[in-house]
Every structure is written in structure tokens, then in C-alpha cells.
Amino acid sequence: MHPARWLVPAWAVALAVLMLGPVLGAGYLLTYDMVWVPDLALRTDFLGLGSALPRAVPSDAVVAVLDEVLPGMLLQKVVLLGALVIGGLGAARLAGRSTVARLAAVSVYVWSPYVVERLWIGHWPLLLCWAVLPWLVAEGIRLRTDARLGAALPFLLVVGSLSANAGLMAAATLLAVGVTRSNAARLVAVTVAANAPWLVAGLLHLDTATSSTSGAVFGMNAEGPLPAPLAALTLGGIWNSEVVPGSRGLLVLPLVLTVGYGALALVGARPLARRLGRRTTTALVSLWAVGYAVALLSWAVPDGLGWVAGHVPAGGLLRDGTRSLALCAPLTAALVAAGVQWCGERAPRIPVAAAGAVLPLAFMPDAAWGISGALQPADYPAEWAQARTALGAGQGDVLVLPFTSYRAPAWNHHRKVLDPLPRYLRPDYVVNDQLAVDGRIIAGEDPRVPDVLAALALPDAGDRAVALADLGVGAVARDRTVPTTSTYDAEVAGTVVFDGEDLEVTILDVPVDEREASAGSLVALGSAWAAYVALVLAGAWNTCRPISSGMPTRRRSG
């Protein structure tokens, strides 16, 4: 292979390593919604049988299976590093054969506010979806002339559909680019199979499938002095200002980046359209328009989207509007790369290539090295493993006290994270999915949460145990390091099986009313998971078949 052909893959790997930095060291990256543990036990809730909406279906189940092969710590690093590298290489593929354009595409796609903010807030399934979108575009183009499912497509769909929002964007991308009259039924079938676990689990929760009406909290935000609609043009504007890099608060950097991307997109639009063709261009423009429109609506009419989330089943998928900006990423990278190529054809290529590759980094320099060191891996306390062993599989669900959602433990560098203890332990669990934002309490979606709070408010420890057991709770784990109030913590009667310096685990001594799924739910979810596994097996078969068909065979003598 010519040395120049290694340049683009090497650049993609270099950018990924530069962005992650310390994240790749020993320990677990625990930040906001990103919670990885050494050994995630596969439990029924992960399959869609929990009382809360299936927001982590099928991602939790997939991780629980895969970390039997790779340790959780290594698996997390493979996922994060792999997502950034695969996303960059996919963008390079959309950019064509020009090395100048391919280097620029990698930088624009990887060194993006969308990537940095979603990494910081811990939305790794969205990052995997973002990573496979350019590859799904390429697969869609292939499927218009080649009806075979292929080896890559099933895996791309599965990887890109680990959450509801991600699955919808992956399906929309493939169908928009690749569907034809002859292959429509097949493509719809494979996209439904890739999304079947969360789709069926969501249908089983239709009676509770609404979210908080506080849409304004999750709407697209301005970043520093840059208005929200402009911030979204460079794929920024996340609702949580705590995960926005400081450089986005400086007017000159994001403003110049927006203007620069716009100018390059203008000069690159016609060459890109000629190269991709009318059908693909139209599909990418439509996906960009949908992604930007959903994000814009969350800023322009947040109360309207909040009403939809609170009253329309599955309307909560629109609540965090800037998630949809992933749909804008493939066209944005391809347009800017085409503009850089246009410049390279009219100026010295090496300086243009260097500028196209490096300038995205220069406009967001604090994204480097774990967002300037904000992302540091951590090790779990030794007591946690002892508590896990003492509790075992347990009877009923485990309740972690204080009954609050987020922690900022000292052992995690005081970084905020969704309470990892329920996932670290083995049984199913009930957690408080209420969210505190700017002093406001945003209601959760699990119908058991108000009942747990009511049980904790009872005056007697024995009465609390009985009330919790009626809710399916069989054990209580208490983290003594977390500040609390009487609303979220109270003594519960039972047998203490672990009593450490920081943790206490108590098993309730009263009969537990264990949650049982109906036969219909089991059949429906079993069918959904069967379709999901069948899609994975189809990809594996299509991968192995060319290998086996190419193996030499020994002629039999007769």
C-alpha cells in the first residue's frame, strides 16, 4: 500500500487519541449518563421488562453480553475509541478520493461540538450512531444497485440502534438514501429488526410512555454569545451548559468557524452534488433539514415540544432536540470537505490540506486531551465488590439510598455521574429518574418512584420495609458518602449482610411481591429479541461465507 493511503486512517486514529487522552488510561470513564462497571449483569429489566421506559434498551443488554468477552474497562475504551475512528473514516469515505478532502472530512466530523458535548454528557450510544451514519449512507448507495444484504449492513444497524433516538436516526439515514421500490420491504424489515427490542418494550409501556412537560429545560441553547440557531450550524447547542467546552463561549472562535464552514459549503455544494448524484444529495439535504428542524423546534417552541413529550406516547424522543443534529453531520462534513478540495485545486495542495485538517482543532482547542483534563478515569472503591458479593443475585429489586439520581463522589474526581451502584450490583433495581436542572425538579417516568418516596416517608422502619417489598424491592443498599435529606433516605428494617465504612446492604425480612411479566409481554419481547439476534447472525453468516468459499478444498480421489 502506498504510504499516502495510510495518512487518512492515521489521522483519524490520531484525532481520536488526542481527544480522549487520559480516558484511555486505567479506570472507568464515569460522566453524567455514562456508567460502565467491571461486570454488568444481564437482568430482565435490560431486556425491556422494567417498570420504567426502556431508554437503555438494547444498549445495556448488549454491554452485559459483550463484557463477558472483554472486561468492562477495556470494552468501554474500545467503544469510545472505535466510535471516533470509525466515524472519521466514514466521513472520509463520503468525501471521495481526494486526500485533501478526506483529511478535512475526518477533522470536521470528529472534532465537532456534537461529539465533544455528547462524550462529556455520556451519551455513548448516540456517538456510535453518529459514527455509523456515513457508513449507512454508503450502504444505502450500494443497495440501490445491489440488493444483497451484505456483511456490514446488519452490524452497522445494530451498532447504530442501541437507543431509541439512535435507532430512529440510523433507520432514517439508511431508508432515505437506499430505499427503492424493489428493496423497500427488505430494508424496512432489517431496520425494524435492529430496533425491535426498544420498539416492542416501548409499546408495552404505552400507558406510561410520556415524559416531563418541561421542554424548555431540554431545548437547544445558545453557546456563549452565539445564538442557538447559529450554534447548531456547527452542531453545538446542547441543553446542558455544564458540558460545553469553554472555547464555545468565545464569540470569535465559534463565529469564525460557522462563517468558514458556511463559505466552504457554498463553494463545495455543486462539486459534491455532481459527485454524489441527485438521489444521494437530496437524501442528505433532507436528513440535514430534519435534524436541524427538530433541534430548532426545541429552541423556538420548547413548551410545544414539552406538551408533546407529556401527552403523546414516545413524544419524549423529541425532548432533547439537539440529539437530532447527528443527522446533519454527514452532509456538513462532506460539504466542508468538498469546499476544501475546491480550494486545493486552486492553491498549493499541501498548505490547503494542512489548513483543512487542523483548523477545526484550532477553533476548539480545549476539546483535546479529555476536554482539557475534565474527563479522567476512576477506579471503584474496594467495598463495592465486597457488597456485590454479599448481596448476590438477591430476591426482588435493589433500592439504593439516598434515593437520588446523580452523584459527585470524591473517588470519581468529584465529577457528576448517574449513580453507578445499582448497575454495579447484580439484581434489577429501581432508581429515582427525577432530574434536577437549575434548581427545578423534572418529573421522572418510572411509576414506582413516587411510591418509593411515599414508602420512605412512613414513620416506622418496619412499615417502610413492608411498603417497599410490596413494590418488588428485596434489598436496600445505602451509600453513606452521599449528602441526603429525610425525603430521600430513611432506615429500613431487615438483615444487614454487608456493613462497610461507606456502604451498607440490607436484605428485607418480609415477603417480596416480585414483579412478574405477563405471558404476552414475554412472547412479544422474545420475538423482538429473536429478530434482533437473527439480524446479528445474518451479518455473521455473510461475513464468514466469503471466507469459507475462498478456502481451498482437497480433491477426493476415487
Burial class (CB in 10 A: 0-12, 13-18, 19+), 229: middle
C-alpha cell, 461: 422502619
> Has residue 66 got a pLDDT over 90?
yes
pLDDT over 70 percentage in the chain: 94
- In this prediction, residue 551 carries a pLDDT of 53
SS3 call for 205: coil
Q: Residue 437: beta bridge partners? A: 440
Distance CA 56, CA 160 (A): 13
547 has pLDDT over 80: no
Closest of 159, 73, 508, 95 to residue 332, by C-alpha: 95
Other beta carbons less than 10 A from residue 388's beta carbon: 22
pLDDT score for 214? 58
Q: What are phi and psi for residue 245, nearest 5 degrees?
A: -60, 145
Cβ of 146: how many Cβ atoms within 10 Å? 11
Domain ranges of the chain: 210-346, 382-507
Q: What is the pLDDT of residues 251-287, one digit of tens each?
A: 889 999 999 999 999 999 999 999 999 999 999 999 9
Count the Cβ atoms, other than its own, within 10 Å of residue 70: 13
Distance CA(373)–CA(14), nearest Å, equals 17
pLDDT in tens, 391-424: 998 789 999 999 999 999 999 999 999 999 999 9
Please list the alpha-helical segments (H only) found in 21-151: 59-66, 72-94, 99-110, 113-121, 124-143
77 has a pLDDT exceeding 60: yes
Q: What is the mean pLDDT of residues 366-386?
A: 97
CA distances 475 to 466, 496, 535, Å, are 12, 10, 38
Q: What is the DSSP letter of 224?
A: T
Helix (H, G, I), strand (E, B) or coil at 501: coil
CB atoms within 10 A of CB 175: 16
Q: Where residue 557 falls among pLDDT bands split at 50, 70, 90?
A: very low
Block residue for cell numbers 453480553: 65
Residue 499 has pLDDT above 50, yes or no: yes
- CB of 428 within 8 A of CB of 44? yes
CA 84, CA 79: separation in Å to the nearest integer? Answer: 9
pLDDT number for residue 271? 97
Instruction: Return the amino acid letter for 171.
Output: A
* Angstrom distance (rounded) from CA 173 to CA 324: 12
Predicted pLDDT of residue 313: 73
Count of residues in the chain: 558
CA distance 184 to 372: 46
In which element (H, E) is residue 1 found? Answer: none
Query: With 0-12 CB in 10 A as exposed, 13-18 as middle and 19+ as buried, what is 335?
Result: buried
Helices marked H in 2-58: 7-20
3-state secondary structure 152-197: HHHHHHHHHCCCHHHHHHHHHHHHHHHCCCCCHHHHHHHHHHHHHH
Give residue-wise pLDDT tens across range 164-216.
999 999 999 999 999 999 999 999 999 999 999 999 999 998 776 555 555 56
Give the CA count within 13 Å in the CB-facing half-sphere of 27.
17
Instruction: Classify 168 in phi/psi space as left (phi over 0), alpha (psi -120 to 50) or beta.
Output: alpha
- Residue 403 has a pLDDT of 96
- Report the distance separating Cα 504 and Cα 384, nearest Å: 10
Asked whether the predicted pLDDT for residue 18 surpasses 60, the reply is yes
**DSSP labels, 461-477:** HHHHHHHHHHTTEEEEE
Residue 27 gets which letter from DSSP? S
Place of cell 440488493: 147
Q: Which residues sit opposite 495 in a β-bridge? A: 507
pTM: 0.95
Mean pLDDT for all residues in the chain: 92
Spell 546-558 as b/e; 16+ CB within 10 A means b. eeeeeeeeeeeee
Q: What is the mean pLDDT of residues 5-31?
A: 97
Contact predicate 155/196, CB 8 Å: no
Say if residue 556's pLDDT is above 80.
Answer: no
Reply yes or no on whether the pLDDT at 552 is more than 60. Answer: no
Biggest CA-to-CA distance, the chain: 88
Residue 480 has pLDDT above 80, yes or no: yes
| Separation of CA 329 from chain center | 15
* 3-state secondary structure labels for all residues of 115-153: HHHHHHHCCHHHHHHHHHHHHHHHHHHHHCCCCCCCCHH
CB 62 within 8 A of CB 124: no
The helix (run of H) or strand (run of E) holding residue 256 is: helix 252-276
515-540: pLDDT as tens digits: 888 999 999 999 999 999 999 999 99
388 pairs with which residues across the strands? none
Q: Identity (one letter) of the amino acid at 337?
A: A
Among candidates 102, 140, 101, which has minimal Cα distance to 277? 140
